[in-house]
Amino acid sequence: MKHRRDVMVKAATTGLGWLVALLLFFPILWTVLTSFKTEVEAIAFPPAFWPEGWTLENYFQVQERSEYFSHFLNSVIISLGSTILGMIVAIPAAWSMAFQPGRGTRHVLMWMLSTKMMPAVGALVPIFLIFKSVGLLDNLVGITLILLIGNLPIMVWMLYTYFREIPSDILEAARMDGATTLKELVYVLLPMSLPGVASTMLLNIILAWNESFWTLSLTAVKAAPLTAFIASYSSPQGLFWAKLSAASTLAILPILVVGWISQKQLVRGLTFGAVK
């Protein structure tokens, strides 16, 4: 009796899991399918699920009209740059908060998190004006810095959670063994929290890759990443759904592949410390 109920519960939860996964995945699937349709087919009503002609035309046109690879390169520079620079700041910050906490550490952590709750648009005008006056508009350094600042709270929080899991005995042992703070970080703390460091970096690369508010507001041509490349297909002359889809597919493909390969790591990273 109990056994049958277990099987039914399992079937129901599995079914529900698949349903949610399909719902979440459907927009991506639809985009990919649309990218292989003609423009007429793309706006047809009622819509057809499978493309009739399976054309690559949209991809050729997108590549002809705009430089995919220069945008791709910008995206790589921005997301890797902001992640690496961010880690350089976040690792020592998380270290000091986890192992040398002061009276205000908790408040600093909460305050950092609260900045993520502020709508970004609230800071747009001042930042735009500052960037304009120092010449950082449409500049790779400028946009990298903004994404770094935006993601820093998440980096520090994630690393802080990881570092807290490391027994302080081991770091003290390293100190007794003659390790300086830097060596303690390099030889003991970072290797021990490698999964955490890796998933923090992965998550930030993904966040920076997908970030569209600041990249659209502060870049135009030179520093424009793939988000701007997609947006350029929604123009005053009208929407070109098929080309927009082709551009979107090209833009999300790299990060989708990275995410797929590292999904185990990511899930572990995001749920780490939740169950112990």
Partner 1 sequence: MGSIKLESLKKAFGSQIVIPDANLEIGDGEFVVFVGPSGCGKSTLLRLIAGLEEPSGGRIVIDGQDVTNTSPAQRKLSMVFQSYALYPHMTVYQNIAFPLKMAGEKAEIIRTRVQEVATSLDLLPYLERRPRALSGGQRQRVAIGRAIIRQPTGFLFDEPLSNLDAALRVSMRMEISDLHKRLGSTMIYVTHDQVEAMTMADRIAVMNAGRIEQFATPLELYRRPANLFVAGFIGSPKMNFIEGQKADLYGAHTIGIRPEAVEWSTTSGKWQGRIDRTEHLGAETVAYLTLDKGETLTLRTSLNEELVAGRTIHVSPQENSIYRFDANKAAIGFGSGQNV
Q: Are 69 and 55 in contact (CB under 8 A)?
A: no
In the complex, minimum distance from the CB of residue 247 to partner 1, in angstroms, rounded to a whole number: 44
Residue number, 52 or 177, with CB nearest to partner 1: 177
Q: Where are the alpha helices (DSSP H) in 35-104?
A: 39-43, 57-65, 68-99
Q: In angstroms, give the least distance from the CB of 217 to partner 1.
A: 43
- Nearest distance in Å: CB 82, partner 1: 28
Residue with smaller CB distance to partner 1, 124 or 179: 179
**Position 125 contacts partner 1 (CB under 8 A):** no
Beta carbon nearer to partner 1, 23 or 182: 182
Residue numbers 33-92 binding partner 1 by CB under 8 A: none
C-alpha 231 chain-centroid distance: 18
**Residue in 7, 20, 170, 221 binding partner 1, rule: CB under 8 A:** 170
Q: Does 231 bind partner 1 (CB under 8 A)?
A: no
- Tell me the backbone φ, ψ of residue 241, rounded to 5 degrees: -60, -45
Min dist CB 194 to partner 1, Å, is 8
For residue 11, count CB atoms less than 10 angstroms from its CB and return exposed for 0-12, middle for 13-18, buried for 19 or more: exposed
Q: How far apart are CA 168 and CA 147, in angstroms?
A: 32
Q: By CB under 8 A, which span of 11-19, 162-170, 233-241, 250-258 interacts with partner 1?
A: 162-170
Binding to partner 1, residues 171-200 (CB under 8 A): 172-179, 183, 187-188, 191-192, 194
Give the count of residues interacting with partner 1 (CB under 8 A): 17
Residue nearer to partner 1 on the CB measure, 188 or 203: 188
Tell me the DSSP string of 97-132.
HHHS--TTHHHHHHHHHHHTTS-THHHHHHHHHHHH
Cβ proximity to partner 1: between 22 and 173 the closer is 173
Shortest approach of partner 1 to residue 188 CB, angstroms?
A: 6
| Strand, coil or helix: 234 | strand
> Token pair of 87, please?
């880690």
**Burial class for 96, CB neighbours closer than 10 Å (0-12, 13-18, 19+):** middle
Q: How far apart are CA 176 and CA 188, in angstroms?
A: 13
By beta-carbon proximity to partner 1, the closer residue of 52 and 172 is 172
Ranges of beta strands (E only) in 88-197 are none
Asked whether position 164 contacts partner 1 by CB under 8 A, the answer is: no
Say if CB 56 and CB 122 are below 8 A apart.
no
**How far is 243 from 264, CA to CA, in rounded Å?**
33
The residue (of 99 and 128) whose beta carbon lies closer to partner 1 is 99
The residues that touch partner 1, with contacts defined as CB under 8 A, are 167, 169-170, 172-179, 183, 187-188, 191-192, 194
